[in-house]
Chains A and B, each alone.
Chain A
Amino acid sequence: MKTAGMSFECETGNYHTFCPISCVAWLYQKIEDSFFLVVGTKTCGYFLQNALGVTIFAEPRYAMAELEEGDISAQLNDQKELEKICLQIKNNRSPSVIVWIGTCTTEIVKMDLEGIAPKVEKQIGIPIVVARANGLDYAFTQGEDTVLAAMVHRCPEYDSLIEEEKSQQSEIHTNSKNKSTSHQLVLFGSLPSNVASELNLELKRQSISVSGWLPSQKYNELPKLGYKVYVCGVNPFLSRTATTLMRRRKCQLIGAPFPIGPDGHMLGLRKFVRFLIKTNGLKERENQLWKNVEDYTRIINGKSIFFMGDNLLEISLARFLIRCGMIVYEIGIPYMDRRYQAAELLLLQSTCKEMNSPLPRIVEKPDNYGQVQRIQELKPHLAITGMAHANPLEARDIDTKWSVEFTFAQIHGFSNVRAILELVTRPLRRSKGNLNLVFPSLSKQTKI
């Protein structure tokens, strides 16, 4: 794919983001019969209990296997210790799967989680999936990527011959004339179940049936994978999962923009045209949607925005907001997989052209200090940023939106377009009254 004319920069990587182990927060809720065990230190535990706030009090299905000095110096046997803990979990919660999250510490002491897991699995009789979601290699949402990539190996095999025979039989049986359903399509990415079913429905309208989701609501319902199964990602941070699906399970990847915003969603649907009969009024539907959110787009039209970058949704969001008429100064992003995001990047490029907007600079591994300097200079109407910078920027009269909300809010598909705009426009809609005119800056420092 060509991404010519687009400039990618790479800075020092001194930026703030969540640790990838935070993915347990939404994954344990998504996979209802799972238990997530983070094998790490007090630091990991402290992060989880503070970042996940109140969920910690709701008897969550995640916990720490807290490493002590004896574990680090190998005085204790890792396998025995983990077995003991997993047995405890089995007795208390009886999950269908235990996911071990490897952390920085297990990497450094080279704890062989992948090696130990099968043994413990045999011992306690519960499948154990190992994902190394550590801060040495990954940022925030990439944690989900590592977990899903690990789950790919646990999906049952799709044997095209057997399956086709089956479907033929059933076709004869029901005497159906519809022959287009023989394609297997598996979508990957963890979405709240109502968003997932909405996407299913949307595709069904185009007579594409989704044969499964990775992850599924229950561990035992993981989709069948194999040659002749088409796969498509719904989130921009799933490149490892995509690679694993292609290389290890021989699936066919459909490279499409991600279903964020009506434009992305529409193009994603169009991509499926390759193996679908016709498009049923998609363009009209898109236009209708744009019309529905006009009250919001009017607010942001012509306003500028700056993405500091911390969750990899940045390209898709920027693309959508440019289409809404915003001017994007900078797209910071932790990690940019140009192959996996190729379709998204192309759409970004064409959107800029169409909207007559300059191509934003894309900054990989940004340096937050430098970014704050640039924000001070550019004075964007809105900065999408982490909580570490949000309050200080607000005090300096820069409106901000907390980036993590985009990860937790429902932003996929047609019906959630309003939700994205609701988030983006909130700081702009918020009336600050007269106080803001008298005291534009409330910072205590003279310089930053």
Chain B
Amino acid sequence: MKLAYWMYAGPAHIGTLRVASSFRNVHAIMHAPLGDDYFNVMRSMLERERDFTPVTASVVDRHVLSRGSRDKVVSNISRKGEEQRPDLIVLTPTCTSSILQEDLQNFVDRASLSSQADVILADVNHYRVNELQASDKTLDQIVRYYVEKARKEGLFKRSLTAIPSANIIGILTLGFHNQHDCRELKRLFRELGILINLIIPEGEFLKNIKNLPRAWFNAVPYREIGLMSATFLEKEYGMPYLSLAPIGISNTADFITQVEKLLNLWARVILGKSFQFALYIENQTKFVSQAAWFSKSIDCQNLAGKEAVVFGDATHAASITKILAGEMGIHVSCSGTYCKHDVERFNEQVQGLCDEVLITENHTKVGDTIARIEPSAIFGTQMERHIGKRIDIPCGVISSPVHIQNFPPGYRPFLGYEGTNQISDLIYNSFNLGMEDHLLDVFGGHDTKGISTKSLSKNEEGIILWVPEAESESRRIPGFVRGKIKRNTEIFAKQNNILEITVDVMYAAKERLNR
């Protein structure tokens, strides 16, 4: 058991449901108690979804507990099959059904005899995997199922498309800016002369999955979701894949260069020519994206050397770290992720770009780290945004967990060249607002705040008293350094066994530090 207030990644079944409800005409049935269908609320509210979320529950109640589900699940599956005629029904286990240990596979087998729809059991263990891993796994499962099915029926298409084409794998509902990213990625490919073969799972029909191997390569923009399917397709059908997120100028350039390489594997044979994207990259970087110019401009000069903390999922945190440190000259004091299952790769990517790496699922640890570092800006999730609010540090949200604000009706991709513009805005606005705030402080603006400790967890050791004069003196220090000076003074006091901080002690501490 562990005491927990907040979690970064949701439970496994959320991942399965996100994949299932992203495909077109797929229905998910959860084997769950009443109230576990909160997914529907999230989808309807956060995504502002206009249509009914194709997820229902086969309710586990007291009767099921005492006698087992018996025919309940099977009849629920066939009922849904008749009512809504989905192509596929995904039976989704939850934490509850994991421990009930009912033979769900048996229900699936029985139901598929009578049901018009295909029926599968999502193969995810609630206690072993989280939302992201589960979505990866479920996507893989569905892809395998339909590729296999097509092969058995002899409908399988393996010939490559005449024009170079790509699959985009891993765009799903409730993903962080996924819809916008998908559009930007499509645009990027179109400009490179690459056809989009399939985008899965978002909006795709299952019957088209058999066409997956017709693409020249697969693109997996987010490492968290789609990697399993991509490796499966590579192993079985020799399809190369790209698991690099084109977030930021240099990542996007890398991405396109790798696309060029992958295309040229076949292009010479099929088209009798090869692709050169160097000019395209240069053109886009110089003129379409404002980010490169922005990082040279005076505005960005002001940001140089400022401290930032980055935290989020592995893809976004690593990319943003790279942008901050590599492209804008910002000092990344700490970069971290909650994707514990992808640590090696994360470490590799942020190596040399930040002072420390933080791998944790515990938000208080992240909060304490931020409080200790006191960066000028945070780039994190909704949680970090609130930590920032509490300790007065601006925060740009760069990764899920999502909130309704992360589903803007306006066009806000993180990927590609338009993405670089959006990210520049985000970064610049975060810092700039902070600066304005401090200017107000320096010129004695509306400052009514007393000195307060910024640490999130309680200071266990002896409490040091500030005499009123010292306290009022400390208020004259500009806000953006006040916390730090206060902390240093207290450390100095502690070292010298001083229990009461007077104005003298303050200046003594300052002197010591300046030395």
Instruction: State whether the Cβ of A71 lies closer than 8 Å to any Cβ in chain B.
Output: yes
Q: How far is the CB of A373 from chain B (nearest CB, A)?
A: 9
Would you call A20 an interface residue if the criterion is a C-beta within 8 Å of the partner chain's C-beta atoms? Answer: yes
Interfacial residues, chain B to chain A (CB-CB below 8 A): 1-7, 10-11, 13-14, 32-38, 40-42, 44-45, 48-53, 56-57, 59-62, 65, 76, 83, 94-96, 99-100, 126-128, 130, 383, 386, 389-390, 458
Looking at the assembled complex, report how far the CB atom of B399 sits from the nearest CB atom of chain A, in whole angstroms. Answer: 16
**Residues in A neighbouring B4, C-beta threshold 8 A:** 45, 63-66
A431 surroundings in chain B (CB, below 8 A): none
Q: With A16-B40, A19-B38, A136-B61 given, is the CB distance from A63 to B7 under 8 Å?
A: no
| Chain B residues near A54 (CB-CB < 8 A) | 386
Interface residues on A, range: 35 or more
Contacts of B65 in A (CB 8 A): 107-108, 136
With A85-B1, A108-B100, A387-B41 as contacts: A41 and B59 at CB distance below 8 Å: no
| Chain A residues numbered 419-448 whose CB sits less than 8 Å from any CB in chain B | 442-445, 448
A22 CB to nearest B CB, Å: 8
A76 interface hit (Cβ, 8 Å): yes
CA distance A386 to B41 in the complex (A): 8
Q: Which residue of A lies closest to B101 (CB)?
A: A108
Inter-chain contacts of B13 with A (CB < 8 A): 43
Contact flags A179-203 to B (C-beta < 8 A → 1, else 0): 0000000000000000000000000
- Contact present for B3 and A51 (CB under 8 Å): no
A171 at interface (Cβ–Cβ under 8 A)?
no
The majority secondary structure among interface residues of chain A is helix
Q: Is there contact, CB below 8 Å, between B34 and A17?
A: yes
Asked whether, in the complex, the Cβ of B99 is within 8 Å of the Cβ of A72, the reply is yes
Given contacts A54-B386, A136-B61, A137-B62, 15 further A-B contacts (CB under 8 A): A13-B34, A14-B56, A17-B34, A39-B1, A43-B13, A63-B4, A71-B1, A89-B3, A105-B99, A139-B35, A372-B52, A388-B37, A392-B49, A392-B50, A395-B51
From B6, B41, B65, B127, name the one whose CB has the most chain A CB atoms within 10 angstroms. B41
Contacts of A445 in B (CB 8 A): 51-52
Is the CB–CB distance between A42 and B7 below 8 Å?
A: yes
Question: Nearest Cβ distance between residue B1 and chain A, in whole angstroms?
Answer: 4
* CB under 8 Å from chain B, chain A span 46-71: 46-47, 49-51, 54, 56-57, 60, 63-69, 71
Closest to A86 in B: B3
A99-135: CB near B (< 8 Å → 1, else 0) gives: 0000011011100000000000000000000000011
Query: Which chain A residue lies CB-closest to B2?
Result: A66
Bound-complex Cα distance A389 to B45 (A):
10
Given contacts A41-B126, A392-B49, A444-B51, contact A92 B37 (CB under 8 A): no
Q: Is the CB of A68 within 8 A of B52?
A: no
A234–B477 Cα distance when bound, in Å, is 54
By a CB distance below 8 angstroms, the chain B residues around A92 are 458
Judging by beta carbons under 8 Å apart, are B1 and A19 in contact? no
CB–CB A82/B56 < 8 A: no
- A388 and B41: CB pair below 8 A? yes
Contact A391 B38 (CB under 8 A): no
Q: Is the CB of B127 within 8 A of A68?
A: yes
**A228 CB, min distance to chain B CBs, angstroms:** 36
B381 CB to nearest A CB, Å: 12
Report the separation of the CA atoms of residues A184 and B263 in the bound assembly, to the nearest whole angstrom.
84
Complex CA gap A443/B130 in Å reads 32
Please determine whether B34 and A387 come into contact, CB atoms closer than 8 angstroms.
no
Residue of A nearest to B45 (CB): A387
State A72–B62 Cα separation when bound (angstroms): 19
CB distance from A183 to the nearest CB of B (A): 39
